[in-house]
Amino acid sequence: MQTKFSVFCERLMEAGWLLAAVSVPLFFDIYSSRVFEPDKITLLRSIALVVALAWLAKFIETGFADFRSGSGSFLRRLHQANPLSIPVLLLVMIYLVSTLASVAEPVSIAGSYQRLQGTYSMFSYIVIFGAMLHSLKTRTQLQRLYSLIILTSLPIAAYGWIQHFRLDPLPWGGDVSERIASAEGNSIFVGAYLIMVVPLTFGRWLNIVAQVLREPGDEASQRNGTAGDGATRIAPTVRPSEPKRFNDSPYLVLAGCYTFILAFQLLAIFWTFSRGAWIGFLAGMFVFLFVFGVRRRVTWLWSGSLTLAVVGIAFLLAINLPGSPLTAFRDLPGIGRLGTIFEESGTNIVRFLIWDGASELVAPHDPIGFGPYTDVLNPIRPLIGYGPESMYVAYNRFYPPDLAHYEARNASPDRSHNETFDSLVTTGFIGFLIYLFLFGSVFYFGFKWLGLAGERRDLYLFIACWVIGGAVGAAIPFILQGRPRMMGVALPVGLLFGVLTYLIIQALVLKRRVAMPPLDEEQIMLMALIGAIVAHFAEIHFGIAIGSTRTYFWLYAALLVLIGYRLRQRTMAEAAVPAEASRPQKVGVRMAAFTSLFAARMPAMAGAGAAGNVYMARKRRRDKVAAGARGNGAATNLAQMRAAPVLSSWTNAVIVYGLLLGVILQIMVFNFISPNLTGNANMNWILALFAFTLVVTTLAATAQVQAQFGDTYTLTEWLTRFLLILVIASAVLGLYALIHVPRLTPRAGLDAVTTIGIVADTITVFYLFFFAMLLMLAVFLMQDGRLPVISVREPFFLLIYLALLVVGVLGIKISNLDSIRADIFYKQGLNFDNNQQWDGSIAMYREAINLQPDQDFYYLFYGRAFLEKAKTVSDAKQRASLLETARTELIRARDLNPLNTDHTANLARLYRTWAELSSDPAQRSSYLNESLKYYEQAETLSPHNAQIINEYGSVYALIGQTDQALAKYQQSLGVDDQFAQTYLLLGDLYQSKQEPDKAIQAYQSAAKYDEAAANNALGNFYINRQEWDNAAGVYQKILEKDPNNLQAHSALGLIYSRQSKWDQAINENLIVASRQPNDLSSLRNLALLYQQVGKYAEALQYAQRALAVTPDNEKPQIQALIQQLQQQLQGQK
């Protein structure tokens, strides 16, 4: 039974997937540390949680009618309702299995700190997918979603333009002008997002241009209400005194807006200079044009597309082959990047090395882990994987040592930059097959609904092309290279060639025994969706599937089912309605049933008179309902009654579009408007971006509303609707700005935690406003049709719905909102870390942990802050307390994620530091042995990490076991013989063993990989041996290459003082003090040097400056020096 509440729940679901399409690509958070991906995904997960609870509430309200409808088994009914249901269910099952068996189960569930793409996130995408299938039922909803996806891309692409021309006021860490990053935070990511929007934009543009260019007969038909069969009705007479009425301009305006937006999108894609995005874009557009040519039976179009594709592939191969005459293209700016796809340099070699390690990880091997944390499910890992988001801990065993030469040594890859390897690592071979099944199903059913499949032979042909193409592609790397490095790219390329082969056979060989559906607006949008998914499929094998592209993939998959299957089934069912129930429609580019589902209603509604009419209509409706209930005495009659909507159709459409554009602007306010940017000249460009977005999107939305109803209108009516949308969107923008901006205004007299708490609350306010807009949008979406008279099925059900509301609010807060607030505190803790203000960082990390107590990443930094503070404390009891706290927090971090090498290595470093700070020999020995134990575990987890092996060896050196230390250093060289640190440690070890020749040789070897560090070490070696001339020569050589090397200046000052070259020693220390005014060593040295030469006044000046920055435990020495200098100064007088 339908009630007002069930309709509200359904419209709440619609509002959810509409705002998911807007918020995920557009939103970012400059106040958090991660800024982009996790912040986007937490918002999506919050939306999905609301949608899921609304869905559940609707099922309860309707008595689970949707589950009981239909005949046959549950799976059969599910497949009949959604042909993609089987691969989606299988995907859900493998995610559950791999998550429960994960080597990092909490991370697999919630997602990693860096990505947040765990099972929770994957299920959120699937909830959005299912909700769309359940609640998108009319073409009005479809057109609204198309418009919203396209309009959302405008500010993203336009912001990329601002970045390209160096007009961005936001202080990003990297250069975003050479390769734009826009709202996605990475050039690869923004390219991956835009290539999924361009085909949709192009498809809509084609349909709109077809409307603009329709034949005069079609135009007359539409205006007069005639159909293609010649039926006519008399057109209304327009008197000369009436205002001129239009109905062509919506399509002209839409065509202009979409042309404009398309140009912005294409240039933004080019400016990403992302090869994966370019290749994906070309693949997607090729499939679009090829299928369009086949369906239109335009031989030159599909054959020309095919020819261009062949030429393009040949060109791509030619410019990448060594010695090719086309290698000059590699020097061209931007496009030359296509000529380096196979080069083992730059980002390419990083990918290749990661793929080498990933191919070892997914093959059978000994269990990872140690002791109680050994992976007991190792034998079945190739089948089920290591769990979502688990790669960064499972990969350490197989980390290629060469990768450390291109990336940070403490960084473990959490993605393969290739979806094939990512799928194999996280969900195993079973998950990989399901992944191929899902994409294969999307492509096959897409072609089927386009009329390029449907017969049994087509299914067999597609499966054969898909499987053979993939198998050949996977085999090529083994044949050419003898290893699986390139399999992750070759296999999907083979799959795409299989798809191409299938399409060519369909175009050239097979004759259709079943008539193709007419090429209408829906068919063109199906081509656009398939092209976008092909582009996505190609790109994710060179990059990473991000929140925006995953969201759009599932949106597009749902749209494929809805357009190709659901709406067409509904149209076929409506074709059986008796003739008197149908209404003739235009035949042409738009199919006959395209507007029949949702007849436009435009009751007059203006001013107080309209309000009075509405009131009287509602009163008559209530009287009629009451009379019907009395007369029939049946509750079913009441349940079947429908009340007319309160607002006219066009008024409601205008409000809905105004609210949707308002949400876009609200997100932009959160992204860009901050008091910290006040006074930045480039903020004018951001304000221009707001104005530009508001005007263009309002124009497009107004035109879409006009096109939706297809009525004629006056210029005044057009302007009225334009201004209404503009005012509503501007009101949302202004209201949120009034709430957001004052909260960020600096306030005096508050402690750091309170101040950052206010900043952290900005995301809370954003969520409250955002979800208030979602609720408001759902209310107005309810007005799209007649509402049931009954409000709620059973009054006591309200308690259930209230409980669901509480669950939703708490779920959003605990699982999503608090993680972002915690990250804001963490970001400020890092700022304190950088300034070595450990009390501040401890306070910030504590707040982060209070908000997200299951995030091991925060415990790592929390414990490290206590460790660093302990190094600065002279009181033994306080130091011991700090170190105990550090140990507790670091152990907690390891307990949460025991296979993360960082946690075990940090415990080893803690005990090493504890030993170095201890004055008790017994305790020192005990701590060093504990350090050795943890280093052994860390080495087990990451046997190819040369830095950990070196640290392991250095502990042996501290114990005095030089042979074991030497063995570890030699082992490290066996792992990575290009790591300068290893040679430096060897030099120090040989120095301690009184083997100077070997020490010098080791330092010279280190100079090949880090000349500055090697020269510093060699200089210190000569200083320790009091070979002052050799030492001076080394540091002078350093300064020749780096005149600003303060360490070299300080060392030269020491050397000159030992050689009694007082003036030169003073000069070197003055250089250091001028650039580091609070450097204690140089200030103290200057005081002593000036004392040595009898300049007591200058000596006293520097001694007093040194006292101001001296730790408390060392102040007595400086005070004694000051007293001595004062006496000498008085004696001199």
pLDDT tens-place string over residues 346-404: 788 999 999 999 999 999 999 999 999 999 999 999 999 999 999 999 999 999 999 99
pTM confidence score: 0.88
Q: Is the dihedral of CA 676, 679, 682, 688 positive or negative?
A: positive
**What share of the chain has pLDDT > 70, as a percent?**
88
- Residue 290 CA to residue 157 CA, distance in Å, equals 27
| Measured distance CA(814)–CA(593) in Å, rounded | 47
Q: What is the DSSP string of 190-249?
A: HHHHHHHHHHHHHHHHHHHHHHHT--HHHHHHHHHT--TTS---PPPP--TTSPPEESSH
Strands 713-714 and 787-788: unpaired
Tokens 């299914």 correspond to 459
Query: Residue 399: what pLDDT?
Result: 95
Other Cβ atoms closer than 10 A to 1097: 11
The pLDDT-based confidence of 325 (bands split at 50, 70, 90) is confident
Q: How confident is the model at residue 658 (pLDDT cuts 50, 70, 90)?
A: very high
Instruction: Decide which of 567 and 431 is more confident.
Output: 431
DSSP state at residue 897: S
pLDDT band at 832, cuts 50/70/90?
very high
Dihedrals φ, ψ of 245, to 5°? Answer: -110, 145
Determine the average pLDDT of the residues in 283-292. Answer: 94
The CA distance from 445 to 528, in Å, is 14
Q: Residue 596 has what pLDDT?
A: 36
Residues 6 or more apart in contact with residue 58 via CB below 8 angstroms: 6, 9, 10, 13
775-779, 1021-1025, 1032-1036, 1062-1066: which is most confident: 775-779
Q: List, in order, residues 6 or more apart from 484 with CB less than 8 Å away.
A: 355, 359, 477, 478
> Taking 60 as the threshold, does the pLDDT of residue 585 lie above it?
no
Residue 724 contacts by C-beta under 8 Å, 6 or more apart in sequence? 654, 655, 658
Residue 378 has which token pair? 């190792």
pLDDT confidence of 297, banded at 50, 70, 90? Answer: confident
What is the rounded end-to-end Cα distance, in angstroms, of the chain?
A: 106
CB atoms within 10 A of CB 322: 7
Q: Which residues contact 505 (CB under 8 A, 6 or more apart)?
A: 461, 465
Q: Please give the structure tokens belonging to residue 446.
A: 């897409």
pLDDT exceeds cutoff 90 at 167: yes
Q: Which residue type is seen at 670?
A: F
The answer to whether the beta carbons of residues 145 and 136 sit under 8 Å apart is yes
Integer Cα distance of 975 and 581 in angstroms: 79
Q: With bands split at pLDDT 50, 70 and 90, how would you rate the model's confidence at 701?
A: very high
Q: What angle do CA 633, 634, 640 make, to 5 degrees?
A: 130
CB 174 within 8 A of CB 491: no
Q: Please give the pLDDT value at position 201.
A: 98
Per-residue tokens: 958: 């501290």
Q: What is the pLDDT of residue 897?
A: 96
The mean pLDDT of 80-96, rounded to a whole number, is 93
Asked if the model's pLDDT at residue 594 lies above 80, the reply is: no
Evaluated on CA atoms 624, 629, 635, 636, the torsion sign reads negative
* Count of all residues that appear for the chain in the document: 1133
Q: Give the DSSP per-residue string, 965-1033.
A: HHHHHHHHHHH-TT-HHHHHHHHHHHHHTT-HHHHHHHHHHHTTT-HHHHHHHHHHHHHHTT-HHHHHH
**Average pLDDT, integer, range 766-774:** 98
pLDDT digits (tens, 9 = 90+) for 122-135: 999 999 999 999 99
pLDDT at position 420 over 90: yes
pLDDT confidence bin for 337, thresholds 50/70/90: confident
pLDDT in tens, 1018-1040: 999 999 999 999 999 999 999 98
Residue extents of the structural domains in the chain: 646-804
Residue 407 banded pLDDT, cuts 50, 70, 90 = confident
The whole-number pLDDT of residue 98 equals 98
Bridge partners of 713, per DSSP, are 246
Q: What is the mean pLDDT of residues 440-467?
A: 93
Reported as a single tens digit per residue, the pLDDT across 527-567 is 999 999 999 999 999 999 999 999 999 999 999 999 988 76
pLDDT of residue 391: 96
Collapse the DSSP code of 323 into the 3-class scheme (helix H, G, I; strand E, B; otherwise coil) and give the result.
coil
Kindly report which listed range (76-80, 231-235, 908-912) carries the lowest average pLDDT score: 231-235
Residue 584 has pLDDT above 70, yes or no: no
942-954 pLDDT tens trace: 999 999 999 999 9
Q: Mean pLDDT throughout 575-600?
A: 37
pLDDT on residue 644: 57
Mean of all residue pLDDT scores within the chain: 87
Which 3 state secondary structure label does DSSP give 714?
strand
| C-alpha–C-alpha distance, residues 821 and 760, integer Å | 5
269 or 675: which leads in pLDDT: 269
Residue 93 in this model has a pLDDT that exceeds 50? yes
pLDDT confidence of 650, banded at 50, 70, 90? confident
Q: Tokens for 780?
A: 């107005």
Predicted confidence at residue 781, as pLDDT, reads: 94
CA distance 902 to 412: 10
Range with lowest mean pLDDT among 162-176, 568-582, 999-1013: 568-582
Q: How many CA atoms lie within 13 A of 396 on its CB side?
A: 29
Asked if residue 762 has pLDDT above 90, the reply is: yes
Other residues' Cβ atoms within 10 Å of the Cβ of residue 149: 23
Among residues 512, 490, 503, 501, which one has the least CA distance to residue 530?
503
Q: What is the mean pLDDT of residues 191-196?
A: 98
- Please tell me the distance from the alpha carbon of residue 701 to that of residue 726, in angstroms, as a whole number: 10
Picking from 815, 904, 816, 811, the residue whose alpha carbon sits closest to that of residue 856 is 904
Q: Tell whether the torsion through CA atoms of 104, 109, 111 and 113 is positive or negative.
A: negative
User: Looking at residue 339, what is its pLDDT?
Assistant: 74
Least confident of 442-451, 780-789, 790-799: 780-789
Mean pLDDT of 326-339: 74
**CA–CA distances in Å: residue 860 to residues 498, 819, 1106:** 48, 16, 35
Q: What is the pLDDT of residues 596-640, one digit of tens each?
A: 333 333 333 333 333 344 434 444 444 444 444 444 444 445 445
Q: In whole angstroms, give the CA distance from residue 350 to residue 406.
A: 7
Q: Coil, strand, or helix at residue 643? A: strand
Q: How confident is the model at residue 271 (pLDDT cuts 50, 70, 90)?
A: very high
Residue in this structure with the two tokens 């399509």, named with its chain if needed: 251
Find tokens 């995920």 and name the residue: 24
Share of the chain above pLDDT 90, in %: 66
What is the CB neighbour count within 10 angstroms for residue 69? 9
